[in-house]
Amino acid sequence: MSGRVRRLLARTFLAAAAAASAGCAAMKVEPWDRDLLAEKKMSFTPAPLESAIDDHVYFSKEGSTGGQGVGGGGCGCN
């Protein structure tokens, strides 16, 4: 296979991959279908208290305050 054909094939593959991955961008949950998504259990932290306790256990064990995205040092003293 000549270099030119190979290049063309690679470019075609790239273009097809780009088109295929962009296909998902056209998918959309319609506003009237968002009932399940709007439920509390679908949120990132459905139980804020529970996740705060989990975080506390985690950073106390690991000595990594701020390891979950909050600013702070790594002294493990709180």
Partner 1 sequence: MKRGSPLLAAAFLALLLLTLAPIAHAAAPARGAVAPSFTLPTATGSVSLDSLQGNVVLVDFWASWCVPCKSSFPWMTAMHQRYGPKGLAIVAINVDKSRKSAQEFLEKHPAPFIVAYDPDGKTAKAYHVWGMPTSYLVGHDRAILFSRSGFDPKHAKDVEAMIAQACAR
Residues at the contact surface with partner 1, assessed by CB under 8 A: 11-12, 14-15, 18-19, 21-23, 25-28, 30-35, 38-39
SS3 state of residue 68: coil
Minimum CB separation of residue 65 from partner 1 in Å reads 34
- Residues belonging to the chain: 78
**Taking the complex as a whole, how short is the minimal distance between the CB of residue 52 and partner 1, in angstroms?**
24
CB of 6 to partner 1, least distance (A): 14
Q: How many other C-beta atoms are found inside a 10 Å radius of the C-beta of residue 15? A: 10
